[in-house]
Structure 1
Amino acid sequence: MFKELNFSICLLLCLVISSEAQIVRHFEVKEREDINLVLLNFSSYKGVSTIQREYRGYPLIADAELGKVNILPTFTHNYSDGVLYAMLEHKNVESESLSKNLSYRLFSSSDEDFDHKWKVGLDANYLYDLRLQFGIGKARLDLSNLPVSNCFVKTASADVFLNYSRQVPNSVNMDTLSVAINMGSLYAEDLQMSNARHLMFDVNYGSVNLAFGDAMAATSTINAMVGAGTVNIKLPAANLPYVVKIKSTAMCRTKVPGHLREIAEKTYISKGYRADAENLMTFMIDVSVGSVSLE
């Protein structure tokens, strides 16, 4: 009887361990001197993804801890005319219902609520063009001290957290920084460190939360568009040159700080505004249903 009991306990323990076990995968591209640009396509259908600088000298390192999977990720890369093309993709072959996606959206809060974890490391010695796609979960991008020429982010219902935690700006001029979210929120801080000419943030359902600690180094246009939800922007200091243009409906509440001066309907300028300023920032805000809050 005791033997049968011990066997049952061991079997139960094995089942628990196997159910909680994770599949670990590692991907990397070795150092190479003739790389002028790294074009990275990364996509994950669900999980928590972190993309930041690493210090190993490799143009790309990626580590994954995968929970229950129906298909393993694929990784391919090749070189052509000084460009490293890298594609890391984790697909889902099972279709998840809208109600299941909504349950992730409404009831998931901690990182442990999602099955997979990704850590992608980039190196400051390479120039990057980033094309990132996330399904359900969270995406954390820390672009401190990373040369990035373009960054395009798309998500189905993943929240995006973008920052420059080490307070080290982009060492090159970025053309476009774009984040498009179907259902979720964007939280972006110290965006002046991106050195981007065009910043485009588009959320169908959710919120856009932006913070600028200073002005851009050159002229820039910031587009914030929300179908239903909120736009919250911490503007640069009032003595810096910028103009704010708001497009909204009667179903949108707007809060504008007193230091902005209205020069036309829903068009405001800062105290330091100059039309010919070399670092003029133009904010274009469009909200159909919800609210706009500027501070």
Structure 2
Amino acid sequence: MLRLVMIAGTSLLMSLSAFAQLSKFYTIKESPEFDTVDFYLKATAANCLLKQSDTDRNPLTIYGSPDLEKINPSFASKIKNNTCYSKLVLDEYNSSGFGDSFSMAVSRSDKDNDFWKVNLGAKKIYRLNLIYGFGNADVNLTGSSVQRLKIKSGSADIVVGYDDGNMNPIQMDTFFVKADFGSIVAKRMELTRAKKVITKIGFGNVLLDFDQQMNEKCSVDASVGAGNLEILLPRDGTPVRIQIRDSPLCAVKIADGFEEVEKNVFVNMSYSANAENLLSFDIDVAMGMVRFRYTD
């Protein structure tokens, strides 16, 4: 799954970079009136790229190449309590939600989908709530101070993460991902600096990449219905505790080197209950599969 979704993310970046007709649609200007941007995005069927801009100095700039005969973009923003609340909705006409857009989305190829690029700035704190129905999304958080992140996938393929060596400048409160039918790959999770990670899976697939040593404590709560959750673990140096609540209809695979200290509770050789960089998992799985493994 990781390989397939990574290919999808790479293809999206190549398509966007080659797409010369992106037009500026909306901008939030730099202002001392706010230090935080609370950004909500709902895209019924589109290909989207979100990242920090090297050239745009505004806190938020949105570019697009939509087919305005099919899609009805809307944008609104307001400043309240030192926070700029902004909302971008990319709904197709005659569509009230992801369910109504299913037949339209599957009847056309990815190259026909709308392209949107969201540029973040370097000086503000961000709270991001991103909802994708169909298509592909690349969420590159490198350089951005992200306080909270929520990503939901209807049937979209999403890649989220940081470039190597570029850690979140601030500690993230919550990293939330939900995959109803789609796929989400979360790369370099140690760079998020998330205190809490919440993962909800219906019939979709999620990969959480924790394969590098953790420097801060992080707790992961996950619920898996009939989908798949794969977790990459650091082999050395990070204390890990795994607690599983399973059922006879699910499958759970624990990586080598873990000891079952009580029923459905596993710890590795580095485990210490009071460790400052403890990585703990609380997993509830019904009918799907959960797999913990190393990358090598």
TM-score, normalising length: structure 2:
0.83
2:191 corresponds in structure 1 to: 193
2:51 and 2:181 map into 1 onto residues whose CA distance is 24
Measure how far apart 1:39 and its partner are: 0.9
Unaligned runs of 5+ in 2: 1-20
3-state DSSP of counterpart to 1:72: strand
3-state DSSP of counterpart to 1:157: coil
3-state DSSP of counterpart to 1:293: strand
Report the RMSD for the aligned CA atoms in angstroms: 2.4
Partner of residue 153 from structure 2, selected from 151, 155, 162 = 155
2:90 corresponds in structure 1 to: 90
CA contact (8 A) 2:170 2:193 kept: yes
**More displaced stretch, 267-276 vs 130-139:** 130-139
3-state DSSP of counterpart to 2:92: coil
Structure number having the greater strand percentage = 1
Partner of residue 256 from structure 1, selected from 254, 257, 260 = 254
Measure how far apart 1:174 and its partner are: 0.8
Residue 101 (structure 1) aligned with residue 99 (structure 2): no
**More displaced stretch, 153-162 vs 195-204:** 153-162
Give the AA of the match of 2:114: H
Partner of residue 240 from structure 1, selected from 238, 251, 254 = 238
For 1:26-105, list aligned pairs within 5 A: 26-55=25-54, 56-67=56-67, 69-95=69-95, 101=102
Q: Which has the larger radius of gyration?
A: 1
Could you list the per-position Cα deviations for residues 236-262 of structure 1 after superposition, in whole angstroms to 9, with x for gaps in the alignment?
A: 223311101122222222222221111
Structure 1 segments of 4+ aligned residues over 3 angstroms from their partners: 22-25, 68-71, 95-100, 102-105
Task: Summarize the Cα distance change of 1:168–1:71 in structure 2 as closer, same or farther, 3 Å threshold.
Answer: same
1:99 and 1:127 map into 2 onto residues whose CA distance is 35
Unaligned runs of 5+ in 1: 1-21
1:233 and 1:97 map into 2 onto residues whose CA distance is 28
1:241 and 1:72 map into 2 onto residues whose CA distance is 49
1:166 and 1:94 map into 2 onto residues whose CA distance is 42
2:260 and 2:76 map into 1 onto residues whose CA distance is 53
CA contact (8 A) 2:44 2:101 kept: no
Could you list the per-position Cα deviations for residues 193-244 of structure 1 after superposition, in whole angstroms to 9, with x for gaps in the alignment?
A: 1111111111111211111133443322112322112111111223311101
2:192 and 2:261 map into 1 onto residues whose CA distance is 29
2:135 corresponds in structure 1 to: 137
3-state DSSP of counterpart to 1:192: helix
Task: Summarize the Cα distance change of 1:283–1:215 in structure 2 as closer, same or farther, 3 Å threshold.
Answer: farther
Give the AA of the match of 2:67: G
TM-score, normalising length: structure 1:
0.84
CA contact (8 A) 1:207 1:226 kept: no
